[in-house]
Structure 1
Amino acid sequence: MKTPPEAPPRVTPVPSTPPQRLKVTPSWLLFAATGALASSLAAAACGGDSGGSTDTGGATQGNGAGSGAGNGMGGAGQGGGLGLTSGSGGGGIGGSGGAGGECGTALQGIVRDFQVSHPDFEDDLGTDLGIVEPLLGDDGKPVYAGDPATPTTSGREAFDQWYRDEPGVNQAIPVSITLEPAGDGLYAYDNSAFFPIDDQGFGNEGNIHNYHFTYEIHTEFDYKGGEVFNFRGDDDVFTFINGHLAIDLGGVHGPQSASVDLDARSEEFGIAPGNRYTLDFFFAERHTSQSNFRIETSIECFTPVEPPQ
């Protein structure tokens, strides 16, 4: 009997694989990730005050360490600052940020440099509470409350230039800071020589540092319950949570401290856990003196938003 021929093996066709599109990560993202990793590895935990408001004395002539701001590279200054990045020279990663940006501990903002001749700079010293109204303006800026002036400010027209671009009056420079782990669930940025725009803008005007500038940050955070936000520094600081004034350290003075317990003031701020809220931060350095700047918070993550124009 003939043995039937062996059937040839069945070959299953393999569908051709379409070419894969190569994802190219933009160079600025690689640069940002590298910088963030380096900053995280190099940063040291920060201590410091977080108690109630305290005036530690009047302004004195500063001769402290450099700012730690590089032209786009940033780095820590000798004053103990961590993760400060200046956008000068086109190399900075800081700046205005963008709506819908990634949540993190970087706070992106705008520094505006002023000349010493501005009427609100190099003038009277002293604590000056009540410079701004308790509610943020519809344009996302503090509303001047002087009638017609305050002990350390000259009037509405001059104050309204602090946080708005005014050609010939100020120069805007993007600057970001990064909060680093500080223990006990806190994150901090601490710089006892906060001069982020030395030799930029209008320059130092014959001083060892550029002492005449403002700084604004606009961000959002998810309120989970139990958060705190603390600041210690000089000169003016106005911090708004959900549009409500949470910290008022107005005036030209030595380092002062303020603490905000979000739970304790939740009704005042109109906030409830499980929702996202705005945090708007305004700072001014107005005198040839020390420049201290410390933020400490248990807010774990901030989302940058487009700053108001």
Structure 2
Amino acid sequence: MKANERLFDGTLFGVTLLSGALLAMPVNPAMAGGVAGGAGVAVGGGDSDRTPTVGGDDDGGDGTVVEYPETLELTGIVRDFREKDDPNGHPDFEERPDRGFGHYCGNVSLLLGPDDKPEFTGAGWKVNSQWLDSDGNPVCYTMFMPELGDTAGEAGLSSTGAIQSSTSFHSWFNDQPGINMSQPLTLTLHRQADNSYVFDDKDDDASDSLGGFFPLEDNLLGNPGGSPDRNFHFTFEL
């Protein structure tokens, strides 16, 4: 997923990253929150028409240049789960979707619910082919702009993916004793040439030492065993 301003044009959304971890956001975002289940989270909001200069930005138009820090720290909540076949396991984790493994969209509302949490819609579908920008980078289907040279993807058959119900989804981002455990997680985002801020697990020392984004490795509910014995079953709320 490319970290570009068009991805964060003010529309609130949540995505699931099934491998790797990338969190990107523009400067001075109108942060309202966002979530993902699996290995990462992307959130954002702000003004997509803004084109900041490297090293600073005249935000107010009065000639005053704002210098941005090299790093930002964001703290969220990471929740650990057991896979579905484990005692007290969660039915959504390690569940094979009826349409098979893949990329699913539309099962979570683009807006947070009244409790400021992601809201399950059950109106999802499997992605047959990905929406792309003019450079061939994946973009969210809600951000598709043919006038900019984007290539349309294709929505497949309807499916809730591996999510069983609104009840099962509720515990993804809410503490539920006996089902999950949680703790704070702080990510350090690094400023890019366009003044956006990015967390990339490939550039994070802790993730690099673990061979990927595994913030709960041998922690909280522990690793499930088997091969590979990695703690894949978590969500991150920011």
TM-score (norm 2): 0.47
**Going by fraction, where is strand more abundant, 1 or 2?**
1
